[in-house]
Structure 1
């Protein structure tokens, strides 16, 4: 059947969108990586730095929802282009002398530009792959985030150590503009879009029913816990290595890569295992819902051991493995939402899902900053913050196990939508 054939050029677009996510996460990580030099130069305490970390997410969710509805009507290729231009331009003011307020405003603008990134990229990629072939490209796409950090951290840290953190921002602006040029030349819209015949067979479901379905709520809850861990990694991992464990800024750059390397392996493994399970007849409840939730619970339990371990390499290892396991949920949730959401509503639903779970990005850096500021020692503050993270990850994983039933969701929603309405 023709709808099961992957169109020519699908993997080229996947690679370009992988690079898109790579730039996206390099932009996110730079403040955390340069955390200690920024705090020293600007005389910031832990609470102020936590505010800087969370400012990135201030308009992130709102922007994700607005753009999610826009991509239901506007081609994703142009939306992706506009977003990448905003990211690039938002980096350049930091090249010169900059005040805390300017840095804060630029991070808010960057967050608004990057908020819809993953949802729009997923929506774009689903126009190139039929449902049963989406898990692997989704995994590759989400790996752009890990590789963005793995490749960017050594390069950006070298600039920070040998030149200045200001130039690290400028370098990211240039790289962003390079992607814009590549996308202008090679970016295309996918051919697997809604046709009149598909629309007739794929009726609209009221948004209220989609957004209150148990699988949608389960995806938001589970990914919230994973994103709490991720936003702490973006903002606080390098400062923890330097201030909490006593590593030098130079060594911390290499250590900061470890969670992302481990996370990359987990995400790619999850995508591959999920695809194999589906071909062997597992339901999407097992091959997506359970497969994404269980690692979150295990990861949270591993983080909970940190305060009882020896400071140094053991703590780093527990943090790397605990937070890295949470990445499995990013691979399975977008395909689960795609299973039961009508194509013409998919962009908005995935964007709203993204907007809800990324609220963790506003809260987590602030909570960690506040806990560190009021702790007896920085290390004690960090460990309390990671314990809070552990509780949230275990809770969100359990909610995922309870609520993620995508295989029965579509039939239930369509039956609900077909019921006659009485005044």
Structure 2
């Protein structure tokens, strides 16, 4: 008999209710991100913005994104993550009010910086919350379902927000996002809580804690950060510039371009769910996490990078197919990052480690819009910008394959083995 307490298994209904609410949380998260890209033309016209000013607006969202991810992640490591998520959602709603109220360029910049600060910790907090309701062997599918929140956020919000922007104006779209955040926060307070596996059940006296630096020096975390960086570069490029490229580069109408920009996210949603189900089956059969999570993820990045380089040089039909692959597959890679880190890092370290690694990876959001904005001032700017993005994706696939190996790194962390929640 075990000499330390083992938490009772939570009811499946409660665990999946929390998972569904977390999915909605991340759906709203990405709707907030996409609204400026979808409303780029009316915003630029209304506020008199040029290409580089618009690129600055897209970039400023990430000014505090990484910093807040680290600060909030470490601060929240010993607190109830569910309460942190309520605060984040309410701040998201408040940042939509200045644009809904009719304020100008300064308000747009300030609100996007504030929104980025509040969204920086969102994905680590959400993932940590869900992991608190499932054993490690059972996480791949709920992890996949949670991480279709961002892709569904684009799939659902792109057509809806494009319609609202076209028929009622972009300021109304910001008002709708405010209302969604408030409603979600109320539902979360009523139904959610931290799960029984949110903390380690092994008394600290039974094992030496692993210092944070040991995780940050591991090949798995380093490789996941670098691969995540290039994947996020692609995602940021899509959010800020894909609707505009479809309109100006392929000659598609603005509202239709907004709708078609959801195709990559639709593909990512399908791939995430399928890979989550397959990975869960593999892990339960004893397949290692490198084979189950890392190698499939690297294939996604390699295919994406190749498609990214090719699509500006093809016809409209082929371009749409390649665009879907180029921008959809990096989003499908993200759940693999969380699973890899989650298998290596014990619960009491997980939120801080994932927040810090996410902060580094998502710093790509500062640079990608500025690089693309510079290219767009020259001839064939889109093709050059997408080629840089494709090359980064291919490099990330190579580096990730070489570095990521959770089984190897776990053996180098002797304090990991007794963590009860990670036992299958």
When normalised by structure 2's length, the TM-score is 0.93
Partner SS, residue 97 of structure 1:
coil
The alignment status of 1:277 with 2:282, answered yes or no, reads yes
The alignment status of 1:356 with 2:336, answered yes or no, reads no
- Structure 2 equivalent of residue 57 of structure 1: 62
The alignment status of 1:325 with 2:329, answered yes or no, reads yes
Inter-CA distance 4–260: structure 2 relative to 1 (3 Å threshold): farther
Please list, as runs of the form range in 1=range in 2, the aligned pairs for 1:181-196 lying within 5 A after superposition: 181-194=186-199
Deviation at 1:196, TM superposition (A): 5.9
- Structure 2 equivalent of residue 413 of structure 1: 413
- Structure 1 equivalent of residue 385 of structure 2: 385
- Structure 2 equivalent of residue 205 of structure 1: 210
The alignment status of 1:81 with 2:53, answered yes or no, reads no
Deviation at 1:71, TM superposition (A): 2.0
2:264–2:329 contact (8 Å) kept in structure 1: no
Coordinate RMSD, CA, aligned: 1.8
- Structure 2 equivalent of residue 421 of structure 1: none
Q: Structure 1: how far apart are the matches of 2:179 and 2:188?
A: 15
Structure 1 residue runs without a partner (length 5+): 418-423
- Structure 2 equivalent of residue 25 of structure 1: 30
Deviation at 1:381, TM superposition (A): 1.1
Inter-CA distance 3–338: structure 2 relative to 1 (3 Å threshold): farther
Greater CA drift, 358-367 or 1-10: 1-10
When normalised by structure 1's length, the TM-score is 0.94
Please list, as runs of the form range in 1=range in 2, the aligned pairs for 1:95-174 lying within 5 A after superposition: 95-174=100-179
Match of 2:369 among 365, 368, 381: 365
Greater CA drift, 193-202 or 392-401: 193-202
- Structure 2 equivalent of residue 215 of structure 1: 220
- Structure 2 equivalent of residue 13 of structure 1: 18
Q: Deviations over 1:72-112 (max 9, x none)?
A: 11101110000001000110110133221110000000010
Inter-CA distance 6–273: structure 2 relative to 1 (3 Å threshold): farther
- Structure 2 equivalent of residue 230 of structure 1: 235
Greater CA drift, 355-364 or 202-211: 202-211
Match of 1:93 among 89, 98, 119: 98
1:6–1:130 contact (8 Å) kept in structure 2: no
Count of residue pairs brought into register by the alignment: 412
- Structure 1 equivalent of residue 420 of structure 2: none
1:202–1:343 contact (8 Å) kept in structure 2: no
